[in-house]
Amino acid sequence: MNLFRGLRPLQRATALRDVVAGAALAAMDIPQVLGYSKIAGMPVITGLYSLLLPLVAFAAFGSSRYLVVAADSATAAIFAGEVSGMATPAGAQYVALAGIVAVLTAMILLLARLLRLGFIADFLSRTVLVGFLAGVGLQVGISVLSEMLGVPVESRRPVVQLWEVLRGLPRAPLPTVALAASVLAFVLVLRRFVPKLPAALVAVVAAIAASAALNFEGHGIATIGPVAGGLPHLGLKGLLSLADMSWKEVETLVTVSASCAVMILTQSAATSRIYAAKHYQEVNENIDLFGLSAANVAAALSGGFVVNGSPTQTAMMEDAGGQSQIAQVTTAAVVGIVLLFLTGPLEYLPTCVLGVLVFLVALRLIDLQALRDIRAESPEEYALAVMTAAVVLLVGVEQGIVLAMVVSLLRVVQHSYHPHSGVLVSDGSGAWKLVPVAPNVVTEPGLVLYRFGAALFYANAGRFIEDVSSVVQPMPSAVRWVVVDAEAMTHVDYSAARVVTALKKNLSEAGIELAFARLPWDLRSEFDRHHLTEAIGPTRIFNRLHDAIAAFEEVEKPAEEKTNETIRDGATQDLRNQGSEST
């Protein structure tokens, strides 16, 4: 097994730069993963665990030099959305369930690796992914308002929570509200005017120092309390609890794990591709699947929760100057030092400040610029993005990811079911233009060049027949030949082949020839296998459109013109014979 692909080749100059980038990433990422652990409903310390062994595991088994695999807001929200109803968040049973989900997710990713299913990531479109993440951002942002403002809520539904927070605002403790507002404004201002500074880390350190010095807890500002220090204890004891679960509970965990796996597939593949293309590097998605599987096993072993290839953390690493997984391994080393020696002060961190960190993460999930671009360029896709966000917010994260997948697949089917087809007509300059199919629309008198813009299969074969039937109307038809431009046809299945055979017979009975042109080389073998070559006739399958036009003109020349040509040919031959006799 080829380990540590993302680190090699090792060079002293670049390695030093990556070490510095890794330390910078740790400074920016530690406050962020504390927020991710809160989103997941896990103990705060488990956020740091996600920056330890999972980073090293992916560096060892993955192929991407840039991808940062750690806790992520999307998978944390998917996990908490369903599992929070099975156990008390941050409790021992809840942590055990997190380990089970991480292992199940790893198994699904490993199965995807063995079956080479990395291409599945292509089926979750950018449009619905933007909508899904916006919905997650709204859900997370609303759910954390309670902690930010110190207003208790009872419901688990975001819309109801928002109403409860608004109703309880007059009773919100002013010190908590003032501190949360100050930290939020401080971080936003620093990000706006000093973007290179780790604003969240500065805010956390300042809040901890102020809390310890001024006794925030004694003044009514809640803190997170003592945090267990030291390295995580390795083990998978939580798996034993599977034996005591009902089938419905197991089914829920499997469903959540599958949803996490889909999100990991999509986000990780998209992120690794972007950075590989940007830096002219190769990336193997199937090898990365194995690395992601190993990272999730490492997360489960260390008492953490599901980890993902994070776009935001990968961007942070690149901005810091990192160019290989050395940076990620360095981050893990820094986090290890923090776990061993620096977790004590975390007990003074105000709960509202941790809520602000989560709220800031939620804001970054809502990509308003992308939504504006989608709305301007494709209103239909914008409606899909908004619908996906609404389902996530009103129904649930798991249902949102299912809808995102279904909608993405339906769009693929829609493009194949309604391909870009029409009649090819010369524009007068020697080029072809495609015009909509309609009766009396012809390429030239008696000839129709019809282009079908997709693979021909059972679902769109009916549309194929409708188009061809339309161009030969009204009957009796003035069209003598219909030539199908098959350049875009990459496949024809059994059902569609039977449809084409029947269409050929019906057109022949009406005195109309059906021909094909520009078949891709692999489509020719399918024509042979389905006996379409025999049904159409080898002489009616052309390599070029111009060959088809020439054959049409040769066959359909007026009889008088053919007779005149025959007389001219005979006269020419007589003159040649006379010349031969005279010599």
Domains of the chain: 12-126+196-365 (no CATH), 422-559 (3.30.750.24)
Helix (H, G, I), strand (E, B), or coil: what is residue 426? strand
Q: What is the pLDDT of residue 575?
A: 43
CA distance 99 to 259: 16
Q: What is the pLDDT of residue 566?
A: 47
Q: What is the pLDDT of residue 60?
A: 95
CA distance 218 to 231: 31
Q: What is the mean pLDDT of the chain?
A: 88
> What is the residue type of 199?
A
pTM for the model: 0.74
Average the pLDDT over 505-520 and give the result.
94
In this structure, the number of other CB atoms found within 10 A of the CB of residue 12 comes to 7
Token pair for residue 251?
């089914």
Element (H, E) at 484: strand 481-485
CA distance to 97, 185, 447, 484, 548, per residue, from 516 (Å): 59, 67, 13, 5, 8
Name the pLDDT band for 130 (thresholds 50, 70, 90): confident
Average the pLDDT over 420-447 and give the result.
89
Q: Are 100 and 236 in contact (CB under 8 A)?
A: no
Q: Are 452 and 484 in contact (CB under 8 A)?
A: yes
Which range scores top for mean pLDDT: 26-40, 308-322, 482-496, 561-575?
482-496
Assess whether pLDDT exceeds 50 at residue 280.
yes
List, for residues 11-20, the tens digit of each pLDDT value.
777 889 999 9
Q: What HEC string does 69-100 produce? A: EECCHHHHHHHHHHHCCCCCCCCHHHHHHHHH
Average the pLDDT over 448-465 and give the result.
93
Name the pLDDT band for 557 (thresholds 50, 70, 90): low
Q: Which residue has the higher pLDDT, 103 or 380?
A: 103
Q: Which residue has the higher pLDDT, 517 or 274?
A: 517
Average the pLDDT over 350-361 and give the result.
90
List, for residues 283-295, the tens digit of each pLDDT value.
788 889 999 999 9
CA distance 318 to 564: 77
Cis before 9? omega within 30: yes
Residues β-bridged to residue 309:
69
Taking the CA atoms of 503, 509, 510 and 511 in sequence, report the sign of the dihedral they define: positive
Q: Are 201 and 27 in contact (CB under 8 A)?
A: yes
Q: What is the pLDDT of residue 579?
A: 52
Residues 6+ apart with CB under 8 A from 474: 439
Assess whether pLDDT exceeds 90 at residue 416.
no
Q: Are 485 and 424 in contact (CB under 8 A)?
A: yes
Spatial strand order of the sheet with 447-451 comes to 432-435, 422-426, 447-451, 481-485, 513-517, 541-542
List, for residues 194-252, the tens digit of each pLDDT value.
988 888 889 999 999 999 999 999 989 999 988 888 999 998 867 767 777 888 899 99
